[in-house]
Structure 1
Amino acid sequence: MRKIIVGAMISLDGVMQAPGGPTEDPTHGFKFGGWVMPLFDQEFGEELDRLFGNPFDLLLGRKTYEIFAAYWPYYDENAPDGGIAKQFNRIKKYAVSRSGEVDTGWQYSVLLRDIADVKRLREEDGPDLVTQGSTELVHALLANDLVDAMSIFTAPVVLGGGKKLFTDGSAPHSYKLTRSRVSSTGMMIAHYERAGDIKTHGAELDSPSDRERKRQERMKREG
């Protein structure tokens, strides 16, 4: 069985929209496209290499697939930083689109129609499946308990709104931090692997006070 690894660049307030440039995704009036690029440094690059260091296929939502397909095939693979273009162009790309209205002409691209297709793909043998962007797809993966690991690059910016990595409805799970690093620009990079159920423990008094009992009763009434 393959692992599904969510790779995401987010702001402190959880926004992951358009990290790469102003024209990437300006939907809903988003005006900070390219907010990650000024923070790129050696540590950032090394941790991206770590994310993409093992054999993998890309698993992308339709909108992110279209962004990548309009960019990476045209990037100069012979440029000093052209290694990622060469890598993306030579691996399989799975584009998830409910409507099927996506041009999968980028070489080695495969259309998936729904989360059931993703489940079947995950159960097959093959390299890990790594997401980039793809907000709606990631929400569906989290809701359907299909995320095995996450690599989250948190930028020291607050964007105030936009498409977010997490939303209500994710399957509850704990994750183990396997590696972390802070870049010279303040980017916090953390790699997590799925660890199991969430554990809870209370800090209540042995005998709750009258004030605490009243507070609990009020919470019940307010729902």
Structure 2
Amino acid sequence: MRKLAGAAFVSLDGVMQAPGGPTEDPTGGFALGGWVFGVGDDVIDPVLGGLFEPPYALLLGRRTYDIFAAYWPFVEGEMADMGDAFTAADKYVVTDSDQPLEWANSHRLDGIAAIGALKQSDGPDLLIQGSSTLYPPLLAAGLIDELVLMTFPVVLGTGKRLFGDGTPPGTLRLIDQQVGAKGVIVTRWAPAGPVAIGPHPHPSTSAAEAERQRRMIEGRW
């Protein structure tokens, strides 16, 4: 059985859109693409080196696939080795489009159930890159084994978020953490079940609290 990990660059307010450059993904009027490069931090390189140690297979949404397919097969210079590695890796693309997947070793998946079946098959572990729309349904289906979050000390205000609409409530267990000299925080998390809700340890019995509760019930608070 394959493991499925999601690795994402995120801002302090949870935005993961277009970390790599201004033209990467400006949808929704997002104008801050390339935000990771304003905070270079040495803690990132070893993490990325571990994530992209072969063998692995990529799991991508269609837009992230299009971004990668237009860049990595053609990149030159010091990033050419990474481009070759991405081309050689299997790339599983969740899409309902009938547009061809022309990048070598690309495979179409027609939904979340197909990802569940893929996890049950033999092969290298799966790594999500980008693809913000995949996280809510994958978390809801219990298919993500680990999250690797590289949180940058920036607040972006708007943009596609890691935990977007449809994300189910849940608890995460911290596996590991590192803090870079410039404030980048790398954390590894594993899903750990539902949110535990307990009674307030010191509930108020004041008349003011009783009145506040009454106003809430009546829709006046």
With structure 1 as the length reference, what TM-score do the two structures score? 0.89
Query: Aligned-residue CA RMSD in angstroms?
Result: 2.1
Which AA in structure 2 matches 1:51?
L
User: Using the alignment, how far apart are the partners of 1:82 and 1:42 within structure 2?
Assistant: 21
- Number of the residue aligned with 2:205: 208
- Number of the residue aligned with 2:45: 45
User: Using the alignment, how far apart are the partners of 1:6 and 1:128 within structure 2?
Assistant: 11
Unaligned runs of 5+ in 1: none
Percent identity between the aligned chains? 44
- Number of the residue aligned with 2:13: 13
Matched, 1:152 2:149: yes
User: Using the alignment, how far apart are the partners of 2:11 and 2:65 within structure 1?
Assistant: 22
Which AA in structure 2 matches 1:156?
P
Q: Is the 8 A contact 1:115 1:140 kept in 2?
A: yes
Unaligned runs of 5+ in 2: none
2:166 to 159, 164, 169: 169
- Number of the residue aligned with 2:57: 57
Q: Is the 8 A contact 1:72 1:88 kept in 2?
A: yes
Which AA in structure 1 matches 2:86?
F
Residues 119-146 of structure 1 show CA distances to partners (whole Å, capped at 9, x for unaligned) of 2112223222111111112232223332
Map 1:183-222 onto structure 2 (within 5 A).
183-205=180-202, 208-222=205-219
User: Using the alignment, how far apart are the partners of 1:38 and 1:8 within structure 2?
Assistant: 17
Q: In the superposition, relative to structure 1, how do residues 3 and 215 fare at CA in structure 2: closer, same or farther (>3 Å)?
A: farther
Q: CA deviation at 1:175?
A: 1.4
Displaced runs of 4+ in structure 1, greater than 6 A? Answer: none
Q: In the superposition, relative to structure 1, how do residues 31 and 122 fare at CA in structure 2: closer, same or farther (>3 Å)?
A: same
Residues 105-132 of structure 1 show CA distances to partners (whole Å, capped at 9, x for unaligned) of 2111101122221121122232221111
2:90 to 84, 89, 92: 92
Q: Is the 8 A contact 1:6 1:149 kept in 2?
A: yes
Residues 18-70 of structure 1 show CA distances to partners (whole Å, capped at 9, x for unaligned) of 00011101112111110012323321111112233363210000000011111
User: Using the alignment, how far apart are the partners of 1:39 and 1:17 within structure 2?
Assistant: 16
With structure 2 as the length reference, what TM-score do the two structures score? 0.89
Q: Is the 8 A contact 2:145 2:190 kept in 1?
A: yes
- Number of the residue aligned with 2:3: 3
SS at match of 2:133: helix
Q: Is the 8 A contact 1:100 1:111 kept in 2?
A: no
SS at match of 1:218: helix
Matched, 1:75 2:72: no
Q: CA deviation at 1:173?
A: 2.2
User: Using the alignment, how far apart are the partners of 2:97 and 2:202 within structure 1?
Assistant: 55
User: Using the alignment, how far apart are the partners of 1:207 and 1:63 within structure 2?
Assistant: 51
